[in-house]
Amino acid sequence: MKCMRISSFFKGTLVTMLLLAVGAVILLKVAGPAIGGGRYSNNPADLRKLDSIRSDCLPVMSALEDYHSKKGVYPRDLSQLNPSFQVLTANAIQFEGHNIYYHSESGVAFSLYIKVSWDAGLRYHSGEGEWAYDPGDGSEGFLLTQSP
C-alpha cells in the first residue's frame, strides 16, 4: 500500500513539473522580448529609437559641459550637477525614464551608459565623441552615426 502512495506522489510531482516547464516555455515565447528587453539592430526603425533615447540625455550632457566650462574639470559624481536631476547614486541618475550611469576619468573626460534593456545599453565617451550600442551579451555592437 505504501508503494502505491509513493508512486502516485511521484507521478503527481512529475506531471506538475512537466506542466510548469511547458508553461515556462510558452511564457518565454510570448513575453520573452518584454522580459529581457528587445535587441536593437542598425535598421532605420531601431536607429530612430536609439537616437531618441540618447537625445533624452542631452540635458545631462549639457549640464556636464556647463560644469566643465565653469570648473575646468568634469564632476566626480552626478550629485554635483543640477539638483533637479533625480540622483539614484553618486554615479547614476534617472532622467526621462532612463537610468544614466556616469564615470569620470580624473575630471578630464567622462563616460555615460544608458541602459536600454536587460543587458543592452548605449555608451558614450566624451573623448571619442561617439555613441555606441552595446548588446551586453558579448556580441559586437555598432556605432550610432547620426548626431543628436
Hey, is 141 helix, strand or coil?
coil
Residue 39 lies in a domain: no
| The predicted structure's pLDDT at residue 39 | 79
Q: Residues near 37 by Cβ (< 8 Å), separated by ≥ 6?
A: 116, 117, 118, 119, 120
Q: How confident is the model at residue 136 (pLDDT cuts 50, 70, 90)?
A: confident
Kindly list the distances between the CA atom of residue 126 and the CA atoms of 32, 64, 112, in Å, as whole numbers in the listed order: 34, 10, 8
Q: Is 71 in the same domain as 50? A: yes
Q: Is 8 in the same domain as 67? A: no
Q: Three-class SS string for 9-69?
A: HHHHHHHHHHHHHHHHHHHHHHHHHHHHCCCCCCCHHHHHHHHHHHHHCHHHHHHHHHHHH
Q: Over the range 119-137, which residues count as b (16 or more CB within 10 Å of their CB) and which as e?
A: ebbbbbbbeeeebebbbbe
Q: Is 65 in the same domain as 114? A: yes
Rounded-to-integer distance, Cα 97 and Cα 55, Å: 12
Q: Is 66 in the same domain as 129? A: yes
Hey, is 100 helix, strand or coil?
strand
| The predicted structure's pLDDT at residue 22 | 59
Task: Count the domains in the chain.
Answer: 2
Structural domain boundaries, residue 8: 1-31
pLDDT at 8 over 90: no
| The predicted structure's pLDDT at residue 36 | 47
Q: Is 22 in the same domain as 51? A: no
Residue 38 lies in a domain: no
| Side chain identity, residue 100 | I
pLDDT digits (tens, 9 = 90+) for 52-72: 998 888 888 999 999 999 999
Q: Is 11 in the same domain as 67? A: no
Q: Is 63 in the same domain as 100? A: yes
pLDDT digits (tens, 9 = 90+) for 85-102: 787 887 888 888 888 899
Residue 83 lies in a domain: yes
Q: Is the pTM of this model over 0.95?
A: no
Residue 37 lies in a domain: no
| The predicted structure's pLDDT at residue 2 | 53
pLDDT digits (tens, 9 = 90+) for 22-47: 555 454 444 444 444 567 888 899 99
